[in-house]
Amino acid sequence: MANDYHYCQTPESLHPLLEALKTTSCVVLGCEGVDLGREGGSITILSLLLAPLEDEQTKPYILDLKTLESDKPSLTLLFDALASGTILKVTFDGRRDGLALRALGYELAQSRCVLDMQLAMVMKRVEIDGETCEEQIERLRGWLAYRELEQHSQMYELIHKLPSLEMALIDIFEHDESHENIAEPLRAKTAHGIYHSSWGDRPLDIKYLEYAAAVVRLISQLYHRFHDDGMLARLTELQSATTRFLASAGKAEVEMYNAHRLLPLDVLKPRAAGPTYQCDGCRLTLGSDAFSKSARLMLNKKKERLCWVCRAVKIHEETNRNRYDSDGDPYAYDSDDDPW
């Protein structure tokens, strides 16, 4: 059976892709690798699905960056083409992908015309679904201890948990019987023997290539559902918010403040005029409402000045290191070991 993707391992195999990029209007982008976006991590696969995205006959291009990384001229041509403002780049968790691609010299954060569908999911909850603060905080259960959320609920009203691609698909296609098992390729990856640590293996098992192709197809379906249902038209700030989202990545000096599941502050809306402070965690310059009063004034000089998000990240990390409180009750924690 013929592959439902183009596997690019040589400079020659990139030529059809480079030609197609000259006329395409939209590209769905996905990255795979070992510890993506983290210190010491590496991107090994770049997946690109070009318009027409809705055509089932359109095959994704799966680029093997372990074999292509030495061909700098071809990769330069590729990234120059992707940087074009005439091509819409659609991603899911572009913050992580942007950090991974930065190692190859491509700055997704500086690329024009990018939409992040992970961010779109959060904006949909806020602007279209009218999610309440209680519902928003409920999403943090399991990532933060129940007791922490109960005692400090007001602190978490500005914090949004970012969804995984699997959960985004389930949310969007929940009542669509024709897409009942849409997230199955993602849900079953461990059962099928697909592990993060093996993306650097060569030769790469075909199931990894099929998975990479499936991911960009699923991101494409998510994008088209937003488009067809008119949600993209209602999320008028999505593109500028995506720019802020991508720009927030990779500034922290401590790893845990870079790789986590929370939306950085001042992304959904531009920062309001007024005093600003730099967070010692994410290193972002944020408005005063991103900090507690004691953090703004640095009343305790021995403590870091942490924004609400970084404070939550620190508590999450401490909880995972010590899963039992003083009463011996287990803290709820996220069982997925991938912080992204």
* Domains of the chain: total: 2
Enclosing domain of residue 216: 6-119+177-247
Is 340 inside a domain boundary? Answer: yes
Residues 297 and 229 both lie in one domain: no
Residues 226 and 282 both lie in one domain: no
DSSP 8-class letter at 127: I
Q: Give the per-residue pLDDT at 69.
A: 85
Is 34 inside a domain boundary? Answer: yes
> Is the four-CA dihedral 278, 279, 281, 284 of positive or negative sign?
negative
Is 144 inside a domain boundary? Answer: no
Residues 110 and 21 both lie in one domain: yes
How far apart CA 38 and CA 201 sit, in angstroms, is 18
Residues 227 and 328 both lie in one domain: no
Tens digits of residue pLDDT in 60-109: 999 999 999 888 899 999 999 999 999 999 999 999 999 999 988 899 98
Tens digits of residue pLDDT in 132-150: 999 999 999 989 998 999 9
Q: Is the pLDDT of residue 326 over 50?
A: no
Tens digits of residue pLDDT in 183-222: 888 876 766 789 989 999 999 999 999 999 999 999 999 9
Rounded to an integer, the average pLDDT of 114-127 is 96
Residues 99 and 63 both lie in one domain: yes
pLDDT, greater one: 40 or 8: 8
Q: Is the pLDDT of residue 336 over 50?
A: no
Residues 87 and 223 both lie in one domain: yes
CA angle 19, 24, 30 (to 5 degrees): 95
Q: Identify whether the C-beta of residue 47 lies closer than 8 Å to the C-beta of residue 30.
A: yes
Q: Is the pLDDT of residue 331 over 60?
A: no
Looking up residue 81, the CATH number of its domain turns out to be: 3.30.420.10
DSSP 8-class letter at 154: G
Is 156 inside a domain boundary? Answer: no
Q: Identify whether the C-beta of residue 88 lies closer than 8 Å to the C-beta of residue 25.
A: yes
Report how far apart, in Å, the C-alpha atoms of 215 and of each of 36, 45, 187 are: 15, 12, 12
**What predicted TM-score, i.e. pTM, was given to this entire model?**
0.91
Q: Is 287 left (phi over 0), alpha (psi -120 to 50) or beta?
A: beta
Residues 227 and 258 both lie in one domain: no
Is 38 inside a domain boundary? Answer: yes
Tokens of 47: 């997946």
Tens digits of residue pLDDT in 240-260: 999 999 999 999 999 999 989
Q: Backbone phi, then psi, for 289, in 5-degree steps?
A: -75, -5
Residues 20 and 44 both lie in one domain: yes
Q: Is the pLDDT of residue 172 over 70?
A: yes
Is 198 inside a domain boundary? Answer: yes
Residues 290 and 184 both lie in one domain: no
Residues 216 and 281 both lie in one domain: no
Residues 96 and 21 both lie in one domain: yes
